[in-house]
Amino acid sequence: MSREALIRLYDLTPSQPLLDALSSATASRDAAPVVPLFKGAAGPRAHSFVELHQGGTLLGRCSINAKGPGTVDACEVVAPAERAGMHWLLVHVALERLQWLGYAYAMIEVNEYADHFPSVLRQAAWWIPDSTERKSAAARDDKSLEWADLFIDFRTWTPSSTPTSLTVNGRDLWVRRPEASEELLIVDWLRETFGGGWASEIHRSFSRDPISSVIVVDRNKELPPKDRLLGFLAYDTARLGMLSAIALVPETRGRDLSLATALIEECLREARASGMTYAVLGGVGSARLAALRAFSALWTIPGSCPGIFGRGVRN
C-alpha cells in the first residue's frame, strides 16, 4: 500500500557524499563522476525533471512538481544499477532541487522500494495521516513544539461557507486579494504596524501573478486609508508552498474568531486555486489549537520547530 511522506527540506542532508560514493563504486579510474542535471522549466512551480548522468550515459530521471508544486513524482532508473539505491538517490537529488527552488517542504510517495527507504530521508520525513482520521484538535497537536508548522492537504479539504464579507464589532469588513495599486500603501502600513519582516513578505506577494496575499479591509471609505487595513495573510512568500504568519491589528485580536477563520480560509482558497495540492502554515504559536479546531484538515508537523524561522537578520 502506497504511503505519502512530507519531507522537511531544511533538515535534509546533502546528497553529494552519496553521489561521490556511487561514482567510486561504479567508475573505472578514467570514468566520469556521477553528476545531477536539471531540466529547466518556466518557473519554480512548473513541472520539470532531474537526471543523473555519468559521462554520456543517463542513469535515471525523476519528475518534480508533476502532481502540484512541491511534489516529487515518478522516478525511472535507466542504466543497470542497484535499482532501489538509485531510485532513492534520484528522489534525494529531486528534493534538493525543490529546496534550491525555494520550498521548505516536499511531498513524496513511498511506494516502490519502500523497504529500502533510506535513513537520510526518513529522519526528515513525517508520514501524512490518513484523511479519514477525525482526531480532536488536541490529538492532532504536538505540545512539545512551541511554534509549529501546520499541514493541510487540499485534496481532502472542503472549504466552509465562511463569508468574505462580515461584520465584526459593528465594522463592515471585506476579506479579499489586494489590488496592485494598493501595494505601497499596504507595505508602508505593515512596516509601521508589524515591522520590516512582514512588510517584506507582503511586498514579495505583489511580485506573484496573481498576487499571493489576502487582506482585511474596512469598507468605510470615510476612514484614513491605513485605518481601513486590519490584517493580512500571504502564501509563497516566506517559502514556496507556505502561508506566512497571520497578522491582525491589536484591536481585532481575540474579539471574533470568525475574522481570523475567514482570513485563513480565503488565503487557502487562493493557494489551492493556484494549483497547490497541499500547503503549510508557518510558525503557528498560541493560536494553534484554535486553528486546529477551526480546520479539521490541519495537522501539526512533528519536527517543524524552529523550521525555517529565526535564521534571518532582523532590525
The listed range with the strongest mean pLDDT (13-22, 213-222, 285-294) is 213-222
For 176-221, how does the pLDDT look when each residue is reduced to its tens digit (9 = 90+)?
Answer: 999 999 999 999 999 999 999 889 999 999 999 999 999 999 999 9
| Contact by Cβ (8 Å): 59, 81 | yes
- pLDDT of 135 reads 83
Would you tell me how many other CB atoms lie within 10 Å of the CB of residue 121?
18
Mean pLDDT on 261-282: 93
pLDDT band for position 292 (50/70/90)?
Answer: confident
**pLDDT above 80 for 80:** no
Lowest-confidence pick of 32-41, 203-212, 284-293: 284-293
**pLDDT above 80 for 163:** no
- pLDDT of 172 reads 93
- pLDDT of 254 reads 63
Mean pLDDT on 137-161: 87
**pLDDT above 60 for 304:** yes
**pLDDT above 60 for 30:** no
In the structure grid, which three cell numbers stand for residue 192, read together? 509601521
Q: Which residues are within 8 A (CB) of 143 and not within 5 positions of it... i.e. 6 or more apart? A: none
Average pLDDT, the chain: 89
- pLDDT of 305 reads 85
Burial of 17 (0-12, 13-18, 19+ CB in 10 A): exposed
pLDDT band for position 39 (50/70/90)?
Answer: confident
pLDDT band for position 137 (50/70/90)?
Answer: confident
- pLDDT of 27 reads 55
Nearest to 283 by CA among 301, 262, 258, 263: 301
Beta strands per DSSP E along 219-307: 229-234, 242-243, 247-248, 278-284, 298-300
**pLDDT above 60 for 29:** no
